[in-house]
Amino acid sequence: MKAARGAYDQCMTSPTPSSETPQPFTVDPDDPAIVKLFAVLLAGEFTAFYRLMDESAMAPDVPSQVAIARMAGSEIAHFEKLAERVSAAGMDPAEAVTRYRSVFDQYHDVTTPKTWLEALVKAYVGDGLAADFYSELAGVLPADAQALVAEVMAATDSSHFARDQVRAALAVRPELASPLTLWGRRLLGEAITHAQWVLAAEEEVTDLLFRGATSLQGVATFFDAVADRHAQRMSDLGLG
Q: What is the CATH number of the domain that holds 217?
A: 1.20.1260.10
The pTM is what? 0.79
CA–CA dist 240, 234 (Å, integer): 6
Residue 55 is assigned to a structural domain of this protein: yes
pLDDT digits (tens, 9 = 90+) for 116-145: 999 999 989 887 887 777 766 767 778 888
Residue 18 is assigned to a structural domain of this protein: no
Instruction: Please name which of 181, 158, 194 lies closest in space to residue 233, comparing C-alpha atoms.
Output: 181
CA–CA dist 178, 142 (Å, integer): 43
Residue 19 is assigned to a structural domain of this protein: no
Distances (CA, A) of 5 to 2, 11, 116, 137, 208: 5, 10, 40, 20, 15
Give the range of the structural domain holding residue 129, as residue numbers without chain letter. Answer: 29-237
pLDDT digits (tens, 9 = 90+) for 153-212: 765 566 889 999 999 999 999 999 999 999 999 999 999 898 888 877 888 887 777 765
Other C-beta atoms lying within 10 Å of the C-beta of residue 86: 21
Q: pLDDT tier at 90 (50, 70, 90 boundaries)?
A: very high
Residue 7 is assigned to a structural domain of this protein: no
Residue 24 is assigned to a structural domain of this protein: no
Residue 15 is assigned to a structural domain of this protein: no
Residue 94 is assigned to a structural domain of this protein: yes
Sort 235 into a burial class: Cβ within 10 Å, 0-12 / 13-18 / 19+.
exposed
pLDDT digits (tens, 9 = 90+) for 29-86: 677 888 998 999 899 999 999 999 998 899 999 999 999 888 888 889 889 999 999 9
CA–CA dist 76, 150 (Å, integer): 16
Distances (CA, A) of 223 to 12, 143, 226: 9, 24, 5
CA–CA dist 233, 226 (Å, integer): 11
Helix, strand, or coil here: 22?
coil
Residue 172 is assigned to a structural domain of this protein: yes
Q: How many domains does the chain have?
A: 1
CA–CA dist 111, 200 (Å, integer): 21
CA–CA dist 224, 168 (Å, integer): 30
